Structure 1
Amino acid sequence: MKIVISDYKSSLNFDINYAISYLRDTLGTNTEIIVYEYNGNNKEFIDILNDADALITGYLEIDKEIIQSLNHLKIISIMATGFNFIDIQQASRSHIGVAVNQEYCTQEVSEHVMSLLLALNRKLKHYTNDVDAKGIFDYGTTNNLIRLDGSTLGIFGLGKIGRSVAKKAQSFGIKVIAYDPFISEEVANECNVELLPIDDVLSESDNISINMLLTNENVGFFNMEKFKKMSKRPYIINVSRGALINEDDLVDALDKELIKGAGLDVLVSESPNLDNHPLVNRDNVIITPHSAFYSETSILECQRIACDNVINYVNGNYDKMFRLINPEILK
């Protein structure tokens, strides 16, 4: 049995020994495990995977060309909840299972949303820059702060994380509205959230939290057309996937003051060049390095679940997997 754990350098910035030990304890000490830091060389990457049974990754793009080159691979296990980087159709055609982590960081991500929401609305970046960089100790250097109690938060994507965000926001006295065509009124009512059409959520929200899964259909969902409908000039918070926002339009919306600012845990690129990036060095934009999921607990859970998906798949225990994206390959 050969298992490859591979990702970008920044995404492998944690102790992988837990996963290695977990796999060998379960599958046997003779299990070959290779940790490979992806450097952009697809030929080298394919050579590493050539005789592998399983690939564990978080954010690598596994496209049609790569998948077609892997005749031995049985499963791709993703150390994340999203799977937009994988060509699922080609994986299915090649009879390769694709599994994701269904649940491991809901609390961390929803806490991150609230951290960004609070920091933006209280303009903490502006004030800390004043104090640290300018030696200014004066609350009057900015304005337009609102009281969150009684404000409205619009959530796009009322899944587990969206509902966790709603619960936390409501504890601050914030009214929560949402758009999610896949959630029933019954589920929304249970968490005291009003489901509304897209345009109503855009126009009524003081803050917007993006918690949608990225699909081929919603790439660039938040574009200039939608920014222009945000009549209350909200803060935009994205902890989902960067490609849900058209970044050029976001920069334009910030420059034209169509929105107050943004809290971004993700950008379109997972390895962005931050030199002269148009979203960097803005008082009203907070960027974190896709860290919303991160805690000591979630890192261990992320590894464990990804490993369990591999273990259960190769042992034929499909019903014990957390989520197999393409179960049709089992038929």
Structure 2
Amino acid sequence: MYKIVRLFEDNMYDVEQKMIKELGMDASIEVIPSGTEDEIIENAKDADVIICVYEPLTKKVLENLKSLKMVIFRSIGFNGIDMDYANEINLPVSHTSKYCTDEVANYVVSAIVLHNRRILEFNKSVKVDRKWDCELFPDMRRLSSRTIGLIGFGNIPKLITKRLKAFGPEIVAYDPFVPDEVFEEYGVKRVDLETLFAQSDYISSHLPLNKQTEKSLNKSLFDLVKDGAVFINSSRGGVVDEEDLYEALTEGNLSYAILDVLSSENPDLSKAKLVDLDNVVVTPHIAFYSQDAFVQGAEDTMKNIHAFMNKEYKNAEIVNLRNIEL
């Protein structure tokens, strides 16, 4: 029997148990919240599978979990693990790539429309400043006249593209891992990253966080943006150099930012300078959030574990499958 240990707390235990029964899995699951290396080592010492989100799966942790056969992130991102060491010990690392794509796509489209129509600013003008003035933003333009730049063109940017088609903007995207025919299928213009920053009115990041992307969105790119450009990040805060973003918003051409993530998942808000800016909207990493997403995430997690147990590795969403031997 496989022992599954979930390292964080939520209310999806009944869903997980239901999936174990429906899939006929020879497995049990325990929920043991574990936020530190030592807690994980102690609480998952005999686990065959770990379910995690942000917990630190360092080399120290992994080398002490002798029974571990699989790690699965109940999230799209999987930057919480030492992937090099996981590859070294042939440890499969999975994730749930589609569980909140609908929610995040809606967040980004909502952010674009919210800014384009200046809804927050007009509301503040009326309710706080007690002004009834429709001329506060004389430079407002139709969304159909704007260019949207998507950094990455995976599941979420594809959904964003479908939703934005109704508004009629030009959509450009950067993703070196997606073939030309996919861009053509969605009517999206492929551009390099520098061109995307230089041409886009709205720039939306959909990068995963890894060694190659960490702080890759920085001054060299922010210096290229046109006057009035807006930056949106619903991916991972670590892909952005926050000092450079702050400078771009206070001294450069970047006019506005809508951020669902910061560089830390548990930021000290008293020291987060971006939060203090009037031209920045910050939400506490909620783009993914809905009860429907939680249920799908739990279901997809168990489906991936089931596929792995049955050696159906290509159906288990193993992100490092090409780098290990199973």
TM-score (norm 1): 0.89
Maintained 8 Å contact 1:152/1:174: yes
2:135 equivalent to 1:169: no
Aligned partners of 1:137 and 1:258: how far apart in 2?
A: 28
1:141-180 matched pairs, under 5 angstroms: 141=136, 144-180=139-175
Do structure 1's residue 59 and structure 2's residue 54 form an aligned pair?
Answer: yes
Distance apart, 1:72 and its partner CA: 0.9
Q: Which amino acid aligns with 1:6?
A: L
The one-letter code sitting in structure 1 at the alignment partner of 2:145 is G
Which of 200, 203, 212 in structure 1 is aligned with 2:198?
203
C-alpha separation between the residues in 2 aligned to 1:258 and 1:175?
21
Tell me the CA shift for residue 70 of structure 1: 0.9
Q: For residue 256 of structure 1, what is the aligned residue in structure 2? A: 251
Residue 38 (structure 1) aligned with residue 39 (structure 2): no
Note the C-alpha offset of 1:197: 2.2
Q: Which amino acid aligns with 2:33?
A: E
- Output the CA distance in 2 between the equivalents of 1:198 and 1:317: 36
Letter in 2 for 1:18: V
Q: Which one scores higher on RCO, CA 8 angstroms, separation ≥ 6?
A: 1
Number of aligned residues:
325
Instruction: Give distance in 2, aligned partners of 1:255 and 1:158.
Output: 29
In the TM superposition, residue 311 of structure 1 has moved relative to its aligned partner by: 2.3
- C-alpha change, 1:43 and 1:260, in structure 2 (3 Å) is same
Aligned partner of residue 280 in structure 1, secondary structure: helix
1:241-280 correspondence runs (5 A): 241-280=236-275
Q: Which residue of 2 aligns with 1:220?
A: 215
Contact 1:56 1:79 in 2 (8 A): yes
Q: Which runs of 5+ in 2 are unaligned?
A: none
Matched, 1:82 2:77: yes
Q: Shift in Å at residue 66 of structure 1?
A: 0.9
Cα distance in 2, alignment partners of residues 68 and 128 from structure 1: 54
Residues 280 and 309 (structure 1 numbering): CA distance in 2 closer, same or farther, change over 3 Å? Answer: same
| CA shift for structure 1 position 55 | 0.5
Deviations 1:11-56 (CA, angstroms, capped at 9, x unpaired):
x455443224423554669x543222334x3212210011111100
> Identity of counterpart residues, as a percentage?
29
The alignment partner of 1:155 has SS state of: strand
Partner Cα separation in structure 2 for residue 37 and residue 134 of structure 1 = 46
Q: Is the 8 A contact 1:116 1:286 kept in 2?
A: no
Seen in structure 2, the aligned counterparts of structure 1 residues 329 and 197 have a Cα distance that, compared at 3 Å, is closer
Residues 86 and 198 of structure 1, relative CA distance in 2, 3 Å threshold: same
Question: Residue 274 of structure 2: SS of its match in structure 1?
Answer: coil
Q: Which of 304, 308, 316 is 2:311 aligned to? A: 316
Deviation at 1:157, TM superposition (A): 0.7
- Give the conservation status (yes or no) of the 8 Å contact 1:3–1:33: yes
Aligned to 2:93: 98
Aligned residues: CA RMSD: 2.3
Deviates more, 1:152-161 or 1:210-219: 210-219
How far residue 329 of structure 1 moved from its aligned partner, in angstroms, is 3.5
How many Å apart are 1:303 and its aligned residue? 0.8
| Mapped contact 2:229–2:254 kept (Cα < 8 A) | yes
Alpha-carbon distance in structure 2 between the residues aligned to 1:96 and 1:211: 26
Q: Once the two structures are superposed, what CA deviation does each residue of 1:193-222 show, in whole Å capped at 9, x if it has no partner?
A: 111222221111111111222331121111
TM normalised by structure 2 equals 0.91
Separation in structure 2 between the aligned mates of residue 324 and residue 209 of structure 1, nearest angstrom: 23
Match of 2:225 in 1: 230
Could you say which residue in structure 1 is the equivalent of 2:3? 2
- Aligned residue for 2:4, secondary structure, equals strand
- Write out per-residue CA displacement over residues 211-234 of structure 1, whole angstroms, 9 at most, x where no aligned residue: 222331121111111111102331
Equivalent of 2:16 in 5, 15, 19: 19
Q: 1: CA distance between counterparts of 2:37 and 2:210?
A: 24
- 1:106-146 deviations in Å (ceiling 9; x for gaps): 22211110111112222333233344444444444555433
Distance, in Å, in 1 between the alignment partners of 2:250 and 2:129 is: 23
Query: Offset of 1:281 from its aligned partner?
Result: 4.0
Q: Distance in 1 between matches of 2:113 and 2:277?
A: 17
